[in-house]
Amino acid sequence: MAAGWIEQVTGSLEQKKRYRQYKARTKQLPANYRTAIEALDRYLMYFGSITKGETLVSMLDDLADLFEQSAASGTPIREIVGEDPVEFAETFLQNYSEGQWINKERERLNHAIENITKDEKTP
């Protein structure tokens, strides 16, 4: 019972556990892969603005999987991210867009305009 109350205040304990596991996984990567995933992580956190914890940890788990598999097979980092790492990050992020805060604002804007224009007459 206490765990449910704590999670209401602090967020999901399971998601926090998964995030810590993700961080531990990234620390095990070879230095160049670790540096690359940390840079992507930082960009995705700032640019992505993901507010849904489940979406965030799923995205990070997938990113860790990609880098672990690439490190194990010796795939060069440029083959992972391509010539434009920003484009890679933004394309990767599109798979997790349902958790972005901007979606809530898009819905709010659409709803507001719909409400004020529903009674307007069209010319």
Dist. CA 40–CA 46, nearest whole Å:
10
What pLDDT sits at residue 64? 97
Provide the token pair at 37: 């995933």
The DSSP call for residue 96 is T
Burial string for 52-81 (b: 16+ CB within 10 Å, else e) reads bbebbbbbbeebbebbbebbeeeeebeebb
Between 85-94 and 31-48, two packed helices, what is the crossing angle to 10 degrees?
60
Q: Which of 23, 50, 48 shows the shortest CA–CA distance to 38?
A: 23
From first to last of the 123 residues of the chain, give the pLDDT tens digit: 555 655 555 567 888 899 999 999 999 999 999 999 999 999 988 887 777 788 889 999 999 999 999 999 999 999 999 999 999 998 998 888 776 667 777 788 888 888 888 877 666
Domains in the chain: ranges and CATH:
2-117 (1.10.1900.10)
